[in-house]
């Protein structure tokens, strides 16, 4: 927390009809990959627009790279690359020409911009399509071109709004790998917004959960799950095949005898065991001793899905 490159303090954005961002405080450190997670309409895009100075917050302060985004948007935009959701290019220009134009908007000379554009196209794997019209690019190619477009200004921070939307799984994987690689090699700070939990989980150092304009939680995934599920930190799933003489309930009863078991739910032939400590070996022993067959034993780790679900459940309960 000592070197925040993006700093939002008590930021609120109100539209006449609703509040898009509500008293948001967020710090993102240099060099980390931060995921902004939330459902559609949660205020992620508005937050990003405020960081770039494209829209003014109703109250609060936004600082990026040490500059106030509202007062000095040009300085911020000089250091920040932004890939909007569903990025568009000049369709009758080739990918290469699009990049050169962006370069010239960033004050690069013609030859400098051309050299850089070639290098970046190679970097994102579009060398072969460099002279193809951008209108003929596929969705995945457009996103990769967008990444090159963002990088041509040598940014310190890149902000990606839903970068993986509408790309096939393989393309997503490649794009995310590229982002991670770039971030590590160039020491870039990356902020990406998404509602695809798994993808974010894969690459982000920290995530912020964003619902209805509020940041509900932030931190790395392990920390989030530990704070959330502190009462029931371990969940073990067991697949059992009861012997002919016994029913599932008998096994459940036996399992409750183990120290630290908090909750057991049966779902057909599989049992979900919530416990306060790691009791997997004892559970296995108990099942086998009961005479039933143990088909599998799975130690479950909480993922973003569970975190997300949990928050939503809470949210709905709070407002119900």
Partner 1 sequence: MISTTTISKKKLKTMREDILVDEPRTDKQKIEPLPRDRKPMARNPFWAIVNKEIADHVRSWRFIVMVALLVLTCLGSLYTAVTNMSAANNSDADSDFLFLKLFTLTDGTLPSFTVFISFLGPLLGIALGFDAINSEHNRGTLSRLLSQPVHRDYIINAKALAALIVVSVMFFALSFLVMGLGLIRIGIPPTAEEFLRIICFVIISIVYVAFWLNLSILFSVRFRQPATAALCGISVWLFFTIFYQMLVSVVARASAPSAMATPEQILQFQNFIQALLRIVPSQLFSDATTTLLMPSVRSLGPLTMSQMVGTIPSPLPLGQSLLVVWPQVTGMIAATILCFALSYLSFMRKEIRPR
1 vs 74, beta carbon nearer partner 1: 74
Residues 281-320 touching partner 1, rule: CB under 8 A, are: none
**Among residues 25, 59, 71, 86, which is the contact residue for partner 1, using CB under 8 A?**
86
Tell which residue, 238, 231, 220, 237, has the closest CA to residue 303: 220
**Among residues 47, 94, 102, 183, which is the contact residue for partner 1, using CB under 8 A?**
102
Q: How far apart are CA 79 and CA 154, in angstroms?
A: 7
Alpha helices in 52-168 (DSSP H): 73-79, 95-105, 110-123, 139-151
Q: Check binding of 123 to partner 1 (CB under 8 A).
A: no
125 vs 135, beta carbon nearer partner 1: 135
Structure tokens at 188: 């870039």
167 vs 304, beta carbon nearer partner 1: 167
The least CB distance from residue 31 to partner 1, in Å, is: 21
Going by C-beta distance under 8 Å and a sequence separation of 6 or more, which residues neighbour residue 232? 262, 263, 274, 275, 276
7 vs 161, beta carbon nearer partner 1: 161
Going by C-beta distance under 8 Å and a sequence separation of 6 or more, which residues neighbour residue 248? 240, 242, 266, 269, 271
**Among residues 18, 66, 90, 166, which is the contact residue for partner 1, using CB under 8 A?**
90
Q: Check binding of 156 to partner 1 (CB under 8 A).
A: no
Distance between alpha carbon 183 and the CA centroid of its chain, in Å? 15
Q: Check binding of 54 to partner 1 (CB under 8 A).
A: yes
Q: Check binding of 137 to partner 1 (CB under 8 A).
A: no
Q: Check binding of 187 to partner 1 (CB under 8 A).
A: no
Is the four-CA dihedral 243, 244, 248, 249 of positive or negative sign? negative
> Which residue matches tokens 């100075």?
53
Q: Check binding of 124 to partner 1 (CB under 8 A).
A: no
Going by C-beta distance under 8 Å and a sequence separation of 6 or more, which residues neighbour residue 84? 161
Going by C-beta distance under 8 Å and a sequence separation of 6 or more, which residues neighbour residue 40? 195
143 within 8 A of 87, measured Cβ to Cβ: yes
Q: Check binding of 43 to partner 1 (CB under 8 A).
A: no
88 vs 291, beta carbon nearer partner 1: 88
Binding span for partner 1 by CB under 8 A among 22-30, 72-80, 280-288, 289-297:
72-80
**Among residues 28, 33, 64, 77, which is the contact residue for partner 1, using CB under 8 A?**
77
38 vs 146, beta carbon nearer partner 1: 146
Alpha helices in 20-138 (DSSP H): 44-51, 73-79, 95-105, 110-123
Structure tokens at 287: 């099942």
Q: Check binding of 218 to partner 1 (CB under 8 A).
A: no
Structure tokens at 19: 């509040």
**Among residues 29, 58, 61, 104, which is the contact residue for partner 1, using CB under 8 A?**
104
Q: How far apart are CA 135 and CA 270, in angstroms?
A: 51
**Among residues 29, 60, 61, 87, which is the contact residue for partner 1, using CB under 8 A?**
87
92 vs 128, beta carbon nearer partner 1: 92
- Tell me which residues touch partner 1 (CB under 8 A): 45, 49, 52, 54-55, 74-75, 77-78, 80-82, 84-91, 101-102, 104-107, 109-112, 146, 149, 153, 161
């Amino acid at each position: 927390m000592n070197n925040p490159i993006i700093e939002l303090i008590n930021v609120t954005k109100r539209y006449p009809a609703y509040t898009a961002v509500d008293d948001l405080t967020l710090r993102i450190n240099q060099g980390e990959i931060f995921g902004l997670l939330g459902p559609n309409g949660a205020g992620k895009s508005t937050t990003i627009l405020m960081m770039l100075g494209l829209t003014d917050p109703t109250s609060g302060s936004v600082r990026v790279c040490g500059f106030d985004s509202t007062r000095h948007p040009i300085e911020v935009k000089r250091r920040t690359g932004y890939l909007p959701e569903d990025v568009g290019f000049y369709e009758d220009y080739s990918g290469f020409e699009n990049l050169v134009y962006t370069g010239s908007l960033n004050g690069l000379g013609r030859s400098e911009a051309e050299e850089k554009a070639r290098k970046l196209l190679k970097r994102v794997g579009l060398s072969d399509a460099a002279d193809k019209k951008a209108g003929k690019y596929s969705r995945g190619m457009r996103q990769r071109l967008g990444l090159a477009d963002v990088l041509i200004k040598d940014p310190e921070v890149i902000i990606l709004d839903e970068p993986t939307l509408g790309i096939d799984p393989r393309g997503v994987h490649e794009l995310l790998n590229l982002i991670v690689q770039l971030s590590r090699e160039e020491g870039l700070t990356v902020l990406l917004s998404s509602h695809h939990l798994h993808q974010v989980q894969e690459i982000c150092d920290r995530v912020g959960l964003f619902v209805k304009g509020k940041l509900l939680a932030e931190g790395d995934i392990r920390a989030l799950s530990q704070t959330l599920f502190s009462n029931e930190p371990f969940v073990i799933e067991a697949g059992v095949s009861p012997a002919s003489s016994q029913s599932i309930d008998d096994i459940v009863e036996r399992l409750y005898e183990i120290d630290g078991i908090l909750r057991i739910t049966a779902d057909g032939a599989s049992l979900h065991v919530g416990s306060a400590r790691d009791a997997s070996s004892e559970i296995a022993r108990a099942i086998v001793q009961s005479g039933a067959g143990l088909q599998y034993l799975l130690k479950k780790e909480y993922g973003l899905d569970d975190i997300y679900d949990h928050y939503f459940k809470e949210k709905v309960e709070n407002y119900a």
